[in-house]
Copies of this chain bind each other. A is one copy, B any other.
């Protein structure tokens, strides 16, 4: 086996990203060889459904449904796993690694859930796992962390990591479209799945946050330890109210060190129009990292879609053939080499909040609410009682409150208390306000 040429690539799973990768590895192969001075070729496309790939007019000899047969081919150096999910994908990944093949994957759920186990299987077999495409689509953010920023202690990471959510929120915020209609639009444009739960619930962002934080902070991250809220309960009323106050809504995945402990959260957040992430619109992604030597740096690009994601897959494939996977073998930043994160208990972090309390329009309401805030040491920065449109049949009015920085736990207790009042007619809406992170140089 050692004497054989190992210049072949197999793609497992040929959907949108798989077929885009196949396209690059066939249509652009001459360009790739010239640009890299390497010799490699696509030998197999493994799937049971070749609908996407067949559009590429590829040779039929590429297609197979037999993963096991591919894995015994000594020519194959890299297998690209693009099936998604965590059941068959996990089985397949373990087989690939145990067969001595290097794994390239875009599967965030798989790595977020089984990363530690898979990395350690890879290491036993002396092969690498590359996963640039798992976070931020084609943005070279995984590389930025394990290479360009390696001499930095990271202080915080903030990401817009889900293109579906960012598309929906951009439509809601810029064009006043309701959540339901924005979701429908996204589905029509192929930017959202028929079942969009994984995206809109924030779980997809949480998977990506777990992966990026694990290497940025050098800690094992359990996705279950991330406080996750999605965008599916957002009301256009609040988005418009926030906008009037100068805020834009984004689904932000954030990891911050607070007194040496990691705080992890995915939440719809109001950010100022001047915030560096505010301009990231539509299905684009962006990641801001705050580092002790570099300060703030940011990485922006297409976070999804076949062609952009395939760009990252191809970069990982090239890396394996260049033999530059030393980082995988020597750096102690991968999840099987690190220890579980020391986490800030949920509720401990301080932040500002936007609240909408739906109260009866009668005297004394505001003082009753304000006294609860006082009890929980929450200072109010501003209050706006919105006039209801005349046609409204509701007997209660929305009171919008912006707080100063308050402990999250206290905020939740205050809301729970307020929501027990008779005068309060609907569950209080609470949205994070995320101020720009401060650059701290350790000079």
Residues of A within 8 A of B (CB): 20, 23-24, 28, 31-32, 34-38, 132, 138-140, 143-144, 147-153, 218, 276, 278-279, 291, 293-302, 306-308, 310-312, 314-315, 317-319, 322-324, 326-327, 330-333, 441-443
Are A315 and B138 in contact, with the CB atoms below 8 A?
no
Are B35 and A332 in contact, with the CB atoms below 8 A?
yes
Are A150 and B307 in contact, with the CB atoms below 8 A?
no
Q: What are the 7 closest A-B residue pairs judged by CB atoms, nearest first?
A: A140-B148, A151-B314, A297-B301, A294-B311, A138-B294, A298-B300, A293-B311
Are A36 and B331 in contact, with the CB atoms below 8 A?
yes
Q: A437 → chain B, closest Cβ, in Å?
A: 14
Are B307 and A441 in contact, with the CB atoms below 8 A?
yes
Are A293 and B314 in contact, with the CB atoms below 8 A?
yes
Can you list 8 residue pairs at the A/B interface with Cβ under 8 Å? A36-B150, A139-B297, A140-B144, A140-B297, A149-B315, A276-B279, A307-B441, A307-B443
Are B326 and A330 in contact, with the CB atoms below 8 A?
no
Are B152 and A148 in contact, with the CB atoms below 8 A?
no
Interface centre among A140, A300, A318, A327 (most CB of B within 10 A): A140
Are A302 and B307 in contact, with the CB atoms below 8 A?
no
Expressed in whole angstroms, the Cα–Cα distance for A255 and B301 within the complex equals 19
Interface centre among A28, A151, A296, A443 (most CB of B within 10 A): A151
Residue of B nearest to A302 (CB): B295
Given A37-B332, A294-B301, A443 and B23 contact (CB-CB distance below 8 Å): yes
Using Cβ atoms and an 8 Å threshold, which residues of chain B touch A144? 140, 143-144, 148
**Which listed residue (B151, B307, B324, B332) contacts A294, Cβ 8 A?**
B307
Are B152 and A311 in contact, with the CB atoms below 8 A?
yes
Are A443 and B20 in contact, with the CB atoms below 8 A?
yes
Are B298 and A301 in contact, with the CB atoms below 8 A?
yes
Expressed in whole angstroms, the Cα–Cα distance for A300 and B144 within the complex equals 12
Are B315 and A150 in contact, with the CB atoms below 8 A?
yes
Q: A147 → chain B, closest Cβ, in Å?
A: 6
Using Cβ atoms and an 8 Å threshold, which residues of chain B touch A306? 443
Are B307 and A295 in contact, with the CB atoms below 8 A?
yes
Given A150-B35, A151-B311, A326 and B327 contact (CB-CB distance below 8 Å): no
Using Cβ atoms and an 8 Å threshold, which residues of chain B touch A441? 307
Are B310 and A293 in contact, with the CB atoms below 8 A?
yes
Are B323 and A308 in contact, with the CB atoms below 8 A?
no
Given A20-B443, A322-B327, A294 and B302 contact (CB-CB distance below 8 Å): yes
Given A23-B443, A307-B294, A308-B295, A143 and B153 contact (CB-CB distance below 8 Å): no
Are A323 and B322 in contact, with the CB atoms below 8 A?
no
Expressed in whole angstroms, the Cα–Cα distance for A38 and B151 within the complex equals 12
Are A148 and B302 in contact, with the CB atoms below 8 A?
no
**Which listed residue (B279, B307, B317, B326) contacts A323, Cβ 8 A?**
B326
Q: A76 → chain B, closest Cβ, in Å?
A: 19
